[in-house]
Structure 1
Amino acid sequence: MNRLRVTSGPVLAVTSLWLVTRAVMLWLLEHNSARLLGSGSVTREVWRLYFHWYGVLAHGSFPVHDTLWQYPPGAGAVLLAPGLLPGLTYFEAFVLLTLAVDALTAAALVRAGTRSGRSLLGAAVWTGGLPLLLQLPLARYDVQVTALAVLSLLASGRFPRAGGVLGALGGLVKVWPALVLLGTPRGRTTRTAWAWAAGAGAAGLALLAAFFTHPLSFLREQGGRGVQIESLGGTALSLARHAGWSGRTRYQYGAIELVGPHVQAVAGVFLGLTALALGLLLLWRLRARHWSEATPYDAALSAVLLFTVTSRVISPQYMIWLIGLAAVCLTSRHTSQRPVAVLVLTASALSTVAFPMCYREVVDGTWAGCLLMLARNGLLTAAAVLSFLRLWRAARPPAGKTAAVTEPRPGADRLPDRVLSVP
């Protein structure tokens, strides 16, 4: 009874916060045409681009020779889902489904946070962090992708098979959720999660290939992407314009990219940095000797941060991923990522100032736009470095203990749940 009283208040507060903030986000979506809200650019992707792809997918084919289609085949299932809701326009159905998935994610974080020894701070970060991006989360399918990653992490400790399957499904939709399996505890948990992920990924790909033609058409277009203006490389090139660099911006591959001398060299540098990030993560995995319940969560956030800051593209919706993973970390009192979560939330707020509020300044490469992106990307870079350093340090055994890694006994990684009942 006492436990119920302790948790019911915070849960009610998180629920109320979700209802209020989502009502505000819907209001912002309704007034999307305002200049500070992007003059309609935020929602255009759904009712124009997603709806166009829906028409192609409904005829049994993935988009072919479409430079804007750069997503794995699982994205097709997400874009087709709004068609299952009769009586609504595609846009209305898409927003309704996104809200439903958002609510499911919040509920999963609340459930995780009310377990013994856990924290509701993660649910609060998701609920209060997402509105920092204004109406954007409701007009992108990244909420659905992030939900798969969040559910995979929350399930993997207690149910590694389910965690592996959810991670694989997320990878089929947008690749990066497969990274959440990087930090699974060594031994049986890792073997089970990774094996089920491989099986589910192969089965899902085979199923999509059986019902749709050209499932791998996205690979050709993904490889042709350049340097987007909001990436770290794009920020460097935008600053170089003030020093006399002759490049310019151009809309291509679904984003505003920089074109001109040395752009390919910059893109190559960041591809190299991505490879270096992968190497560092694999080195951490090999040398890690101490696992806590929070290690898989912390490793997932660190991995996605490193891949984000070394990417040639950092779209505003990428912040949804980071908010979701930071929220999972903060469900555990043992996480090493609390200061990282603060940096992520601050960077999210700055992302909103950049897009949609001051996007023209960013595109034109004015000093205000350059400094804004330098601040946002500087915060993300600091978050990535700090995240990996804290992950590395946390993987060392506590002082005075032997650095031995043993395979956990079945069920050893499960936390006891205290049954709540009202007399």
Structure 2
Amino acid sequence: MLTRAAMLLLLLQDAAHPLGVGGVGNEVHGLYARWSATLAQGTFPTGDPLWQYPPGAGPLLLAPSVLPGLTYFQAFVTLTLAADALVGYALARGGREPAGAWLWTAGLPLLLHIPLARYDVEVTALAVLALLTLHRSPRLTGTLAALGALVKVWPALTLLGIERGRTTRQAWGAALTAAAAMLLVLALAFRSPLSFLSGQGGRGVQIESLGGTALALARRAGWRGRVRYRYGAMEYVGPHVGLVAGVAVALTAAAFVGLLWWRLRARRHTTATPFDAALCAVLLFTVTSRVISPQYLVWLLGLAAVCLTSRHTTQRPVALLVLAAAGVSALAYPVLYADVMAGTWTGVAVMVVRNALLLGAALLSFRSLWRATVPAGPAIDIA
């Protein structure tokens, strides 16, 4: 309770006494509230270049407007705190080890007040619940994963490590059914539910990504690029930015191939394997992304916490690296974000450390997952 009270106090003081650049709550006050008003008219914000989210995000952003007696901002934060409490409860009750609940409780405040002003806690709750319900109901796992994927895509990765055979068929069958049903409902309730598909193509290289860190170092060495606000983020523009973005996309494709190859080769399976695989997959897609926003760490903290609910997990060292990365992320934004945008040596150093921690966590996660599940001899079976 004390940690959440401190996070809430930071958020409430953000405008008057900002920590660093401030403005953490602006997305809720302005962007989310504006989108909610558009959604209330039965349409997705198709004319807004900042709208880049799957259609499931619509009901989530509309929900605060229907809570009585509260402003949109107050209702949004209330729902986020409720989702946070649900994650903590599920981790405490759903696992045999208490470390997962402790990691979530102590780790989320490392991101300061950012989690309260983004809807990633709600998305993470769906992913956490999907994983923790797997041993009781694979169909429920698939349904929750599908709902999460329709909000922010990545929760679909919670299905990656499910044991082959009937469990996989039940989970994926339920996921496809739930996704189709929800898409149908959204198509009937709102206009242009798939408009987000055209919003990602123009994305560049965000200054907080691994590619952005490489460009920041190049900038210190004389590269003539600059930082510009585009598509809701601070991105680099200038010579060779397109090449860096292309490399990031290629690395994401390589990560997908690597995960598929692991799936084909994996033979050993424990109760922790789905948890470990989900964390590994999200880490790989995070570090290869053109965009690594600070709220991405909310996802990683939630998945790392799920891993720690099992004594069989291979991801304990990875969870510690994720915790460290969360702490450094808060320095990068909002505390020292002015330095990050300006490309000072302080800002560059912070981003190098944060992204090195994430890259190290991703590589260690994949190696640990591979060694724990793939036997020495070749064997391929995707049933």
TM-score normalised over the length of structure 1 = 0.88
Task: Check conservation: 2:322, 2:358, Cα contact below 8 A.
Answer: yes
Give the aligned partner of residue 59 of structure 1. 41
Give the aligned partner of residue 28 of structure 1. 10
Structure 1 403/311 Cα, relative in aligned 2: closer, same or farther at 3 Å?
closer
Task: Check conservation: 1:168, 1:200, Cα contact below 8 A.
Answer: yes
Structure 1 61/209 Cα, relative in aligned 2: closer, same or farther at 3 Å?
same
1:157 offset after TM fit, Å? Answer: 2.4
Give the aligned partner of residue 217 of structure 1. 195
Give the aligned partner of residue 67 of structure 2. 85
Give the aligned partner of residue 76 of structure 1. 58
> For 1:376-403, what per-residue CA distance to the aligned partner results, in whole angstroms no more than 9, with x for missing partners?
0000000000000000001035x9x998
Task: Check conservation: 1:125, 1:323, Cα contact below 8 A.
Answer: yes
1:84 offset after TM fit, Å? Answer: 2.0
> For 1:5-48, what per-residue CA distance to the aligned partner results, in whole angstroms no more than 9, with x for missing partners?
xxxxxxxxxxxxxx111111111112113565245410001010
Give the aligned partner of residue 146 of structure 2. 168
Task: Check conservation: 2:11, 2:113, Cα contact below 8 A.
Answer: yes
Q: Equivalent of 2:119, from 129, 141, 162?
A: 141
1:256 aligns with 2:234: yes
Query: Unaligned regions of 5+ residues in structure 1, if any?
Result: 1-18, 408-423
CA distance in 2, matches of 1:56, 1:395: 48
Structure 1 141/261 Cα, relative in aligned 2: closer, same or farther at 3 Å?
same
CA distance in 2, matches of 1:82, 1:170: 18
Q: Equivalent of 1:197, from 155, 160, 175?
A: 175
Give the aligned partner of residue 325 of structure 1. 303
Task: Tell me the amino acid that sits aligned with residue 301 of structure 1.
Answer: L
CA distance in 1, matches of 2:133, 2:162: 11
1:268 offset after TM fit, Å? Answer: 0.4
1:107 aligns with 2:89: yes
Query: How many pairs does the alignment contain?
Result: 383
1:359 offset after TM fit, Å? Answer: 0.3
Task: Check conservation: 1:289, 1:405, Cα contact below 8 A.
Answer: no
CA distance in 2, matches of 1:204, 1:140: 23
Task: Tell me the amino acid that sits aligned with residue 377 of structure 1.
Answer: N
1:185 offset after TM fit, Å? Answer: 0.5
**How high is the sequence identity, in percent, across the aligned residues?**
64
CA distance in 2, matches of 1:105, 1:182: 21
Task: Check conservation: 2:211, 2:245, Cα contact below 8 A.
Answer: yes
> For 1:209-235, what per-residue CA distance to the aligned partner results, in whole angstroms no more than 9, with x for missing partners?
111001111111111100000000001
Task: Check conservation: 1:36, 1:358, Cα contact below 8 A.
Answer: no
CA distance in 2, matches of 1:64, 1:382: 38
1:129 offset after TM fit, Å? Answer: 0.4
Give the aligned partner of residue 165 of structure 2. 187
Secondary structure, in 3 states, of the residue corresponding to 2:25?
Answer: helix
Q: Equivalent of 1:372, from 328, 350, 354?
A: 350
Root mean square deviation of aligned Cα: 1.7
Task: Check conservation: 1:149, 1:180, Cα contact below 8 A.
Answer: yes
- Work out which of the two has the higher radius of gyration on C-alpha atoms and give 1 or 2: 1
CA distance in 1, matches of 2:33, 2:374: 49
